[in-house]
């Protein structure tokens, strides 16, 4: 998603997107986003899909899950804290949304990513050792 391109296509839609992106802890409704865009709710939905390519609800959920996935992979924060950071008061609701979007639960996603990082680190170490042996 190139926000600059969206801004050039329709600055009203870009304003609504920025509102959501500024604070993911707040759950913004379509009506709220439409108000920020100064558009009627039904027209906002149609225009959002034309400009962005997906519905506002799907984009909103995707941004939250993508951000949560990033936090799971790059921090040691608890799932509950990450859920709150992306606007879910209930861990159960967050896990359901996460699984619907990704096909796995948050803890499995974190574990799979940790395993990849460990394997990559081991491979990098082996490659460095091999290179060092050739040099010496």
**1 plus 30 within the same structural domain:** yes
Is residue 126 predicted with pLDDT exceeding 90?
no
**85 plus 130 within the same structural domain:** yes
As a whole number, mean pLDDT of residues 92-103 equals: 96
**3 plus 36 within the same structural domain:** yes
**77 plus 131 within the same structural domain:** yes
Per-residue pLDDT tens for 45-57? 999 999 999 999 9
Per-residue pLDDT tens for 6-51? 999 999 999 999 999 999 999 999 999 999 999 999 999 999 999 9
Residue 130: pLDDT band (50, 70, 90) is very low
Domain count, the chain: 2
d(CA 61, CA 48): 14
Mean predicted lDDT score pLDDT of the chain: 87
Distinct helix (H) and strand (E) counts, the chain: 8, 0
Note down the domain range covering 12: 1-53
**110 plus 43 within the same structural domain:** no
**77 plus 99 within the same structural domain:** yes
Give Cα separations from 44 to 13, 39, 61, 98, 122 (angstroms). 8, 6, 17, 26, 50
């Amino acid at each position: 998603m190139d926000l600059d391109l969206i801004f050039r296509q329709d600055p009203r839609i870009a304003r609504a997107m920025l509102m959501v992106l500024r604070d993911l802890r707040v759950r913004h409704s379509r009506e709220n986003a439409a108000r920020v865009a100064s558009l009627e709710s039904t027209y906002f939905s149609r225009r959002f899909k034309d400009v962005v390519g997906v519905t506002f609800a799907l984009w909103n959920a995707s941004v939250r899950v993508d951000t949560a996935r990033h936090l799971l992979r790059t921090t040691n924060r608890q799932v509950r804290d990450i859920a709150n950071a992306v606007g879910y008061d209930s861990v159960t609701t967050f896990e359901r949304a996460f699984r619907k979007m990704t096909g796995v639960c948050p803890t499995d996603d974190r574990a799979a990513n940790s395993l990849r990082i460990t394997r990559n680190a081991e491979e990098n170490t082996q490659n460095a050792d091999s290179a060092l042996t050739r040099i010496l």
